[in-house]
Amino acid sequence: MKADVLVIGAGAVGTAITRELTKYRLNVICVDKREDVGGDCSKSNSAIIHTGYDAKPGSLESELVVAANPQYDKLTADLDIPFKRIGAILPAITDEQFAQLPEIKEKALKNRVYDVQYLSKEQILAIEPNINPEVKGGLFIPRESIIDPFIYVVAMAENAVANGAKFMLNTEVTGIRKDGDRVIGAETTNGYIEADYIVNAAGLFCDEIANMVGKFDYTVVPRKGQFYILDKNTGCKVNHIVLPIPTKITKGKLMTPTIDGNMLVGPTAEDLPDKYDKSTTTEGLDSIRADVQKLIPGVMLQDTITQFSGLRPNRNPEGLNIDVYDDVKHYVNLSGVRSTGLTNSISVGAYVANLLREIGLKMEFKDDFIEKRKGIVCIRELSREEQHKKILENPLYGNIVCRCESVTEGEIVDAIHSPIPATTVDAIKRRLRAGMGRCQGGFCGPKVIEILARELKVDPKEIRKNNSKSYMVCGKVK
């Protein structure tokens, strides 16, 4: 196998880089050790497209996030990605917090986020009645937005595939070959891939890849964030992203609607040694309760339908870094792409492409780049007439498998046979929401296993929740 550019990691960042490179006449391969794109950090985060108002002014992170935000209107329209500009509110609950507002606004200006507005107590309570009535006033950041993070990564990857990129999943990089001071290819669990250029976008595992090329200048320090997801019918909701005023120690815990109308509450921020520890803890979940109640006193965490945790790929020393080296040529290393990674992925793509050009990659524009991608039809969102028409076209759209989220067999079959095939229970869930509702897969789980086995022509015991050891059933009954 041979590629002009090999991208390691198929998260939000890796897929965005891959897609960007398909705008040029290049042969691009993206590998990931997981079974699906977006299988790690990109799937478990707050699903917010940030403005960068609170970034460190002058930093690369600030530059990339601020440049990314305005791109999402067109991008999400082109690629059929659910996205809403709902705006964020930072309510000052205490006098001390109120005194911090001018400073926060000034920092936003330094980050070239000029549309931050002051809101009075009355204005805040009028648009967000569930905020603590003690609120003194606050800031409104209109372009803070919410997105479907799963569909974002899938859409970017599918569009890259439509433009000629190749994705190799379940493919772990085990070594990088060099010829003198330049990289020439990667050993993987799926064979050797010869590559003229290599981009390390391995997120949580980027330090391990860096070690393979002989770089030991940083380590990844996963920062765990635990969240609650609340039922769509919970009695206490918010209409905007409600963010706490940050303290010196933490950005704090927020409450926001998700793109599908659930409430997302969290996250914690816990530095950990273990890159695989995605457990939730009673202490963590209790701390969310305590903090969020200060903002939204009526929050009903008992309406939770799930709790999860994600790991932000922080690094030590801190900071988002995109590096090229004199002593490791034809290689780009990304590290510290943390909370803002989902947002800035789109600018990182362009930034990395340009960096590759600077270090010698020959890049010719393509005339036939396909800009648009259409997702799987979402039956629940169609009008009754449209649903009727669709079912007559394909009867499988008339068979609802997931009751809570009204997902049909037709959509599941479409996902299994899509350009980035959904081959696991979680992959189906992320693309379609089957199993993401209040029964958490209790009803649809067994049917999804059956449909996956049928479409993939394997025995149900081969079906996985996500990675290779996560079997769902262990064989037939006696």
Query: What is the smallest separation between the CB atom of 236 and another protein, expressed in angstroms?
Result: 15
Q: Cα separation of 157 and 28, whole Å?
A: 12
Query: What is the smallest separation between the CB atom of 382 and another protein, expressed in angstroms?
Result: 10
Query: What is the smallest separation between the CB atom of 252 and another protein, expressed in angstroms?
Result: 22
Select which of 50, 240, 388, 417 is catalytic: 50
Structure tokens at 392: 């007559």
| Residue/partner pairs of 64-69 with CB below 8 Å, 24 or more apart | 64/320, 64/340, 64/344, 64/347, 64/348, 64/351, 65/340, 65/343, 65/344, 65/347, 66/111, 66/112, 66/113, 67/344, 67/347, 68/343, 68/344, 68/345, 68/346, 68/347, 69/143, 69/145, 69/343
Q: Cα separation of 312 and 293, whole Å?
A: 24
Q: Cα separation of 317 and 437, whole Å?
A: 40
Query: What is the smallest separation between the CB atom of 390 and another protein, expressed in angstroms?
Result: 8
50 carries an active-site annotation: yes
Residue 156 dihedral angles phi and psi, to the nearest 5°: -60, -45
**Nearest Cα residue to 268 out of 288, 283, 249, 248:** 288
Query: What is the smallest separation between the CB atom of 276 and another protein, expressed in angstroms?
Result: 5
Query: What is the smallest separation between the CB atom of 27 and another protein, expressed in angstroms?
Result: 34
Instruction: Tell me the HSE value of 130 on the side-chain side, using a 13 A CA sphere.
Output: 18
Residue 349 dihedral angles phi and psi, to the nearest 5°: -55, -50
Give the H or E element holding residue 452: helix 444-456
The three-state DSSP-derived secondary structure of 30-67 is EECCCCCCCCCHHHCCCCEECCCCCCCCCCHHHHHHHH
Our CB check for another protein shows the closer of 60 and 472 to be 472
Our CB check for another protein shows the closer of 283 and 371 to be 283
Our CB check for another protein shows the closer of 177 and 275 to be 275
**Nearest Cα residue to 443 out of 453, 451, 452, 434:** 434
Which parts of this chain interact with another protein (CB under 8 A)?
Answer: 233, 276-282, 284-285, 304-308, 384-385, 387-389, 391-392, 395-400, 403-404, 406, 425, 438-443, 445-446, 449-450, 460-461, 464-478
Query: What is the smallest separation between the CB atom of 84 and another protein, expressed in angstroms?
Result: 23
CB-based contact 83:76 (threshold 8 Å):
yes
Our CB check for another protein shows the closer of 178 and 465 to be 465
**Nearest Cα residue to 197 out of 42, 363, 60, 345:** 363
Residues with active-site annotation: 50
